[in-house]
């Protein structure tokens, strides 16, 4: 099945864009001052700010990425939901009120509030830019990837479209318009994700779910056979590699996956421009239940009917339930031709609903990587610059606190929904095996065009809201931190606004260029970089500034530098980069760690403590 946009999805997206552009120009007249531009005048209601937090934070990585990971990996994808939400606890209990109390427009303001140090201004601004750019690239790339199948436009058009809209939003009214775009998006995302989960539960579970084009999701891709049956049907075995078998019949190539019991399941493949033997073809959506625990085969085919949320999960957790998990393998055939083969693996409900598919914890390295990832998720959220600047948009620290609680409630609720969305996609034949990011839109499509249109439009809105927040943070770092404060340009209020708009335009252009340059590259790992850098470079500085009176400006500078260098250094020399972007093997990496947090976070703390003690004559006399 080929994904394609419907006129309705285009109309809904156009209406959303028109609404946000109207809001931007409406507020532009009221955001003439620097406070208005960078912090929405500090007058946003805490409830609005709380939902805007959700709109800011729930990026494409959350909505599309986590749902996709759950759809293909089961519970392992949900670990991200848990970690991302837990990070808000750090934000509420430790960071929210002090950040509001100490800061003005940017995260750098708060760090520098007690020191007036050019070193802090420079390093914190650089950290903001590194984190924001790491976060921006996947968002922009994702925008292009969404536009291609949904609107039928080229990738670069999607990137430019999103970039241009966001530049207009941010340049028009800065944080004010950005706030309402994020509020709108956050609200819509929560409402329609809830509706989609309602549809999933009302459909229930079945080994023969209905919904997609032909009423049989996965179509011929769920064909099962034995080797002798294939031979009887005229298939000739040409090549075997591991559990994958390549057959030919009448010149048509097919790949099959052999399971432990000898059963063969039809796989999908791509090689060059060939997809399943069709030039320029597309992969069939896949994913279904093969058995539902506690039910006969006939009962499972009829399905459970509508189920409650706990019953839905309990059915899937049953040890006798069998679920397909689709995997991609790069293989070479007997002629040396390279194939990407997508094949199903049958797992029990027990394995589907517990960690261990992606995040294995058997070896010491695997354990360290897992702990490291969970540390980065936990400590990264409260140190993301585009999140922290939202604290300056409310009137008081008490409002900062309350808005964080609204954020925890709304984001926590959404992350609970991700488990149902991801699992719903996994068992309703709505997973694109080559790109699991489209699982949520495909799942919506199985319930009809209207829901698909709305969910697709929200997917675009998701990118718009997050990119707007990132561009505000990055442009604030350039115009406010670097030009005005580090560069001592002594800008007037009006000049600060103009500098912010020019910086937003420049950052937006950079984002567009990077989005186009990275086309086709899987850059989702960059979100992980953003969290790792934020947790390593920013959070130790924030925590020590708040809780250790001997912290010095030099200590903070050292902490940020060590945090950035160590986290990026560990990532760049690690196995994931060698096996991925470098095109080498994981064994050639300098060390086995894929996640840096367990090393880089303590290292950053240590650097701050040592340098602060060495430079103690400049320590803070009294904590605020």
Contacts with other proteins, residue ranges (CB under 8 A): 27, 30-31, 33, 35-36, 39-44, 46, 75, 78-79, 81-82, 85-86, 88-90, 92-94, 97-98, 100-101, 104, 176, 310-311, 313-315, 317-318, 350-351, 353-356, 361-362, 367, 370-371, 374, 378, 392, 395-399, 401-402, 404-405, 408-409, 412, 415-416, 419, 546-547
Q: Considering beta carbons, is residue 88 or 460 the nearer one to other proteins?
A: 88
Task: Report the first-to-last Cα separation within the chain, whole angstroms.
Answer: 61
Q: Which residues contact 233 (CB under 8 A, 6 or more apart)?
A: 225, 249
Give min distance, CB of 483 to other proteins, in A.
Answer: 20
Positive or negative torsion for Cα 410, 413, 419, 420: negative
Written as six digits, the tokens of 71 are 């759809």
State the nearest-atom distance from the C-beta of 138 to other proteins, in Å: 24
Of 270, 272, 320, 275, residue with least CA distance to 295? 320
Nearest CB to other proteins, comparing residues 241 and 365:
365
Between residues 198 and 356, which has the closer beta carbon with respect to other proteins?
A: 356
Helical H segments across 285-427, by residue range: 297-302, 309-317, 349-352, 364-380, 385-388, 397-427
Beta-carbon neighbour count of residue 513 at 10 Å?
Answer: 14
Report helix, strand or coil for 612: helix
Query: What is the distance between the alpha carbons of residues 291 and 224, in angstroms, rounded to a whole number?
Result: 14
Q: How many CB atoms lie within 10 A of CB 573?
A: 14
CA torsion, ordered 258, 262, 263, 267, to nearest 10 deg: 10
**What is the smallest separation between the CB atom of 168 and other proteins, expressed in angstroms?**
19
Question: What's the closest the beta carbon of residue 529 comes to other proteins, in angstroms?
Answer: 21
Q: Are 604 and 536 in contact (CB under 8 A)?
A: yes
The backbone torsions φ and ψ at residue 29, rounded to the nearest 5 degrees and listed phi first, read -70, -20
Q: Are 168 and 447 in contact (CB under 8 A)?
A: no
> 201-214 burial string, b = 16+ CB within 10 Å, else e?
bebbbbbebebbee
Nearer to other proteins, 271 or 317 (CB): 317
Q: How far is the CB of 548 from other proteins (least distance, A)?
A: 13
Minimum Å distance from CB 356 to other proteins?
4
Q: What share of residues in the chain are helix, strand, coil (percent, to 5)?
A: 65, 10, 25
Q: Pick between residue 269 and residue 370 the one whose CB is nearest to other proteins.
A: 370
Q: What is the distance between the alpha carbons of residues 52 and 469, in angstroms, rounded to a whole number?
A: 10
Of 10 and 371, which has the nearer Cβ to other proteins?
Answer: 371
Query: Of 145 and 536, which CB lies nearer to other proteins in the complex structure?
Result: 536
The C-alpha torsion from 582 through 527 and 382 to 469, rounded to 10°, is: 130
Rg (CA), the chain: 25
CB of 546 to other proteins, least distance (A): 8
| Beta carbon nearer to other proteins, 91 or 147 | 91
Q: Pick between residue 158 and residue 597 the one whose CB is nearest to other proteins.
A: 597
Q: Closest distance between other proteins and the C-beta of residue 372, in Å?
A: 10
Q: Which is nearer to other proteins, 265 or 378 (CB)?
A: 378
CB of 494 to other proteins, least distance (A): 14
Q: Which residues have a Cβ under 8 Å from the Cβ of 522 and sit 6 or more positions away?
A: 580
As measured in angstroms, the least distance from the Cβ of 116 to other proteins is 18
CB of 513 to other proteins, least distance (A): 32
Q: Return the number of the residue (72 or 321) whose C-beta is nearest other proteins.
A: 321
Report the nearest approach of other proteins to the CB of residue 474 (Å).
21
439 — phi, psi (to 5°)?
Answer: -60, -45
CB 81 within 8 A of CB 418: yes
- Minimum CB separation from other proteins for residue 539, in Å? 12
CA distance 612 to 610: 5
- Minimum Å distance from CB 369 to other proteins? 10
H helix and E strand count, the chain: 25, 12
90 versus 134: smaller Cβ distance to other proteins: 90
CA 282 to chain centre: 24
Helix (H, G, I), strand (E, B) or coil at 475: helix
Nearer to other proteins, 176 or 437 (CB): 176
Closest CB to other proteins among residues 353, 541: 353
Kindly tell me the sign of the dihedral angle through the C-alpha atoms of 391, 394, 400, 405. Answer: negative
Task: Measure the CA–CA gap between 470 and 287, rounded to whole angstroms.
Answer: 35
CA 88 to centroid of chain Cα atoms: 16
d(CA 391, CA 377): 20
């Amino acid at each position: 099945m080929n994904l394609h946009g419907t006129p309705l999805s285009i109309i809904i997206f156009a209406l959303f864009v028109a609404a946000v552009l109207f809001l931007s120009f409406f507020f532009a007249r009221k955001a003439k001052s620097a406070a208005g531009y960078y912090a929405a005048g500090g007058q946003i209601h805490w409830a609005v700010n709380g939902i805007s937090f959700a709109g800011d934070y729930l990026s494409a990585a959350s909505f599309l990425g986590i749902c996709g990971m759950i759809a293909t990996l089961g519970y392992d994808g949900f670990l991200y939901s848990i970690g991302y939400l837990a990070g808000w606890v750090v934000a509420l209990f430790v960071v929210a009120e002090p950040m509001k109390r100490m800061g003005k427009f940017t995260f750098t303001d708060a760090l520098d509030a007690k020191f007036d140090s050019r070193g802090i201004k420079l390093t914190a601004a650089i950290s903001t830019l590194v984190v924001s750019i790491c976060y921006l690239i996947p968002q922009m790339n994702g925008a292009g990837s969404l536009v291609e199948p949904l609107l039928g436009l080229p990738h670069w058009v999607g990137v430019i479209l999103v970039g241009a809209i966001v530049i207009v939003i941010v340049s028009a009214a800065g944080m004010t318009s950005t706030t309402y775009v994020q509020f709108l998006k956050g609200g819509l995302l929560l409402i329609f994700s809830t509706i989609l989960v309602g549809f999933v539960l009302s459909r229930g579970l079945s080994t023969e779910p209905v919904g997609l084009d032909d009423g049989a999701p996965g179509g011929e891709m769920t064909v099962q056979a034995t080797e002798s049956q294939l031979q009887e049907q005229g298939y000739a075995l040409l090549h075997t590699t591991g559990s994958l078998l390549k057959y030919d019949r009448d010149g048509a190539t097919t790949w099959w996956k052999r399971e432990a019991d000898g059963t063969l399941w039809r796989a999908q493949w791509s090689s060059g421009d060939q997809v399943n033997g069709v030039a320029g073809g597309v992969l069939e959506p896949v994913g279904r239940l093969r058995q539902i625990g506690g039910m006969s085969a006939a009962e499972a085919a009829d399905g459970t009917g509508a189920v409650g949320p706990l019953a839905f999960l309990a059915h899937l957790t049953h040890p006798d339930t069998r679920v397909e998990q689709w995997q991609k393998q790069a293989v070479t055939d007997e002629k040396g031709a390279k194939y990407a083969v997508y094949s199903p693996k049958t797992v029990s409900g027990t394995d589907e609903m517990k960690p261990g598919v992606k995040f294995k914890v058997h070896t010491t390295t695997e354990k360290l990587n897992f702990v490291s990832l969970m540390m980065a998720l936990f400590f990264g959220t409260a140190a993301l610059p585009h999140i922290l600047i939202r604290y300056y948009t409310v009137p008081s620290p008490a409002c900062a606190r309350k808005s964080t609680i609204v954020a925890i409630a709304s984001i926590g609720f959404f992350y609970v929904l991700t488990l149902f969305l991801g699992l719903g996609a996994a068992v309703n034949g709505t997973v694109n095996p080559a790109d699991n990011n489209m699982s949520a839109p495909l799942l919506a499509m199985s319930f009809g065009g209207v829901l698909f249109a709305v969910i697709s439009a929200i997917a675009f809105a998701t990118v718009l809201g997050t990119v707007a927040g990132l561009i505000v943070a990055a442009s604030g770092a350039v115009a406010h931190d670097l030009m005005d404060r580090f560069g001592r340009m002594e800008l007037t209020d009006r000049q600060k606004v103009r500098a912010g708009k020019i910086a937003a335009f420049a950052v937006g252009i950079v984002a567009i260029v990077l989005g186009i340059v990275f086309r086709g590259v899987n850059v989702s790992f960059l979100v992980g970089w953003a969290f790792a850098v934020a947790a390593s470079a920013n959070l130790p500085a924030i925590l020590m500034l708040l809780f250790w009176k001997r912290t010095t400006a030099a200590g903070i500078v050292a902490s940020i530098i060590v945090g950035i260098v160590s986290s990026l250094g560990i990532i760049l020399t690690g196995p994931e980069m060698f096996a991925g972007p470098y095109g080498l093997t994981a064994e050639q990496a300098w060390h086995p760690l894929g996640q840096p947090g367990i090393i880089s976070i303590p290292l950053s703390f240590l650097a701050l403590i040592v340098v602060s003690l060495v430079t103690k004559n400049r320590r803070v006399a009294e904590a605020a």
